[in-house]
Amino acid sequence: MKKEEILSCIDHTLLKAFAKWEDIDTLCEEAVKAKTASVCVPQSYIKRISEKYPDLNICTVVGFPLGYNSTGSKVQEIKDALENGANEIDMVVNISDVKNGDYDKVEEEIRTLKETCKGKVLKVIIETCYLNEEEKIAMCKAVTNAKADYIKTSTGFGTAGATMEDILLFKKHIGPDVKMKAAGGIKSVADLEAFIEAGCDRIGTSSALKMLEGASNGGEY
């Protein structure tokens, strides 16, 4: 797989609580140069990024990383993010609602947040590490019914990240208009290629550029 093809699927990510502007600025410079799909950053940096990098596709997170914010607060997060220049939203479902079996409630929240996005991309993080197979399948249906754009495996802050098993499960149960994003625990170029080849349109990672640079130095690229 060509390096450029991989980079076009990368949400170049920095969501650490202690991220400084110089770190975010470097991330954005790297994304522009590498032509990644987006940068995924904390909401507090969106406006500053959009002012300095007006052509950069900005993704941010909502209800992150635990998901138990109220729907109303998530709506306000999205409105603020879009006003400041974000184009894509990665929301976390209310995992407690999922565990309680309140799947209709989760679906309705996703639908409300998709409407709030007003045509912008909504990715739904279901945090697979906390869910059993029945719950994952229910989330595939909820994401599909609510007409979100993507289902995403993980926040990267849970007990585990993306697995191929979960991506293959998604493929069986999502609708034809739902795309997939893998995130968390992706540590090699082989992992990047495997998830893309399995059907992921996006990969969320902070280290794709380093992985690809290392492979290049080793002669693979």
SS3 at position 43: helix
> Residues of the chain whose pLDDT is less than 70?
215-221
SS3 at position 187: coil
In angstroms, how far is the first alpha carbon of the chain from the final one? 9
Domains of the chain: 3-211 (3.20.20.70)
Q: What is the pLDDT, as a whole number, of residue 216?
A: 53
Q: What is the pLDDT, as a whole number, of residue 118?
A: 97
Among the listed residues 119, 83, 91, 121, the one whose alpha carbon sits nearest the alpha carbon of residue 107: 91
Give catalytic residues, as residue numbers. 90, 152, 181
pLDDT in tens, 17-71: 999 999 999 999 999 999 999 999 999 999 999 999 999 999 999 999 999 999 9
Q: What is the pLDDT, as a whole number, of residue 214?
A: 80
